[in-house]
Structure 1
Amino acid sequence: MENLDLATILNTFEQSSLSELEISCTAYTVKMKRGGSAAGFQPIPAQQEQAVTEAPPKQPKTDNVVVIKSPIVGTFYQTPSPDSPPYVEVGDTVEKGKVICTIEAMKMMNQLETDFPCEIVSVLAPQGELVEFGQPLFEVRRK
């Protein structure tokens, strides 16, 4: 990452309402947090990837079940507005291109649409909570 890129990211972070930001590259990790004490800059070395063995699932996975993950960091909303019903509920069958949630990032509302027809198996993210990039939001069954 070039110094100009880092300066742009820092400037954007300062102008945003985000309280934390973490960017990881192969060589290093940059963490920014608001409201902390003024400490000196300390680079954090990137963690070495280690093989992870997963525990066996508690229940057998069903065929055609896919996890839809967050494409961005932001606040997860299952409803278009506080007094509206959710976009989707468990058991709903949705067509390709249907909005299933909104993620607010940097004061922008980003609608997440399905890429294929599916049935909602479970909603994994809590309403109004911060979600990370790649965090599972929904389990769906392809139709």
Structure 2
Amino acid sequence: MEVKDLKQLIKMITETDITEFEMDNAEEKIVIKRGQRTEIVQMTAAPAYMQAPAAMAAPIAAPAAAVAASAPAAELAGETINSPIVGTFYRAASPESAPFAEVGQVIEKGQVICLVEAMKLFNEIEAEFKCKIVKICVENAQPVEFGQPLFVIEKI
């Protein structure tokens, strides 16, 4: 870039509200910054455990309370199969299909026991060992958190 072109570019930038300009091509790189200091703003996502605004607190707290109430410590004292991801729990492949697993059913190692949908992808959750389903901890089509118990099982 010629010096006269560079001067013209600087003049154009100083006449506007632009504080930083960067141009990069195969032959050269031009960076023009103006002003006394550049402020860097970093944003991070709020942790999942943060409290929701008051308007949303009741709907969010209700499912959490329902999960806690439906899963007393005594019932979850046995082995559990937990959700490996955050998503929506489904007991069957479709509303018309039979559930993958029922209470009292013996499940073989590698057998699909439910689906957890996350970001429009259906993830098959498989049994890691032969077991018997003692309790299903989550209702069909309900949201689940990472590590939340889905099934109470008894190893065979």
TM-score interval (norm. to shorter): 0.5 to 0.7
The CA distance in 1 between the partners of 2:132 and 2:141, in whole Å, is 23
Q: Quote the residue 2:153 is aligned against.
A: 140
The CA distance in 2 between the partners of 1:60 and 1:97, in whole Å, is 22
The CA distance in 2 between the partners of 1:60 and 1:74, in whole Å, is 21
Structure with greater strand percent: 1
In the TM superposition, what are the counterparts of 1:73-112 in structure 2 within 5 Å?
73-112=86-125
Q: State whether residues 68 and 138 of structure 1, in contact with CA within 8 Å, keep that contact through their aligned partners in structure 2.
A: yes
The CA distance in 2 between the partners of 1:120 and 1:85, in whole Å, is 16
Structure 1 unpaired stretches of 5+: 11-21, 37-55
Q: Rg larger in 1 or in 2?
A: 2
Structure with greater helix percent: 2
Q: Percent identity?
A: 41
Question: 1:95 and 1:129, CA in 2 relative to 1: closer, same or farther beyond 3 A?
Answer: same
The CA distance in 2 between the partners of 1:82 and 1:123, in whole Å, is 17
1:107 Cα deviation after fit: 0.5
Q: TM-score, length-normalised on structure 2?
A: 0.54
Question: 1:23 and 1:81, CA in 2 relative to 1: closer, same or farther beyond 3 A?
Answer: same
Instruction: Supply the AA of the counterpart residue of 1:142.
Output: K
1:57 Cα deviation after fit: 5.0
1:122 Cα deviation after fit: 0.5
Q: Which runs of 4+ in 1 moved over 4 A?
A: 3-6, 29-33, 56-61
In the TM superposition, what are the counterparts of 1:5-44 in structure 2 within 5 Å?
6=44, 23=47
The CA distance in 1 between the partners of 2:76 and 2:144, in whole Å, is 26
Q: TM-score, length-normalised on structure 1?
A: 0.59
Q: State whether residues 23 and 31 of structure 1, in contact with CA within 8 Å, keep that contact through their aligned partners in structure 2.
A: no
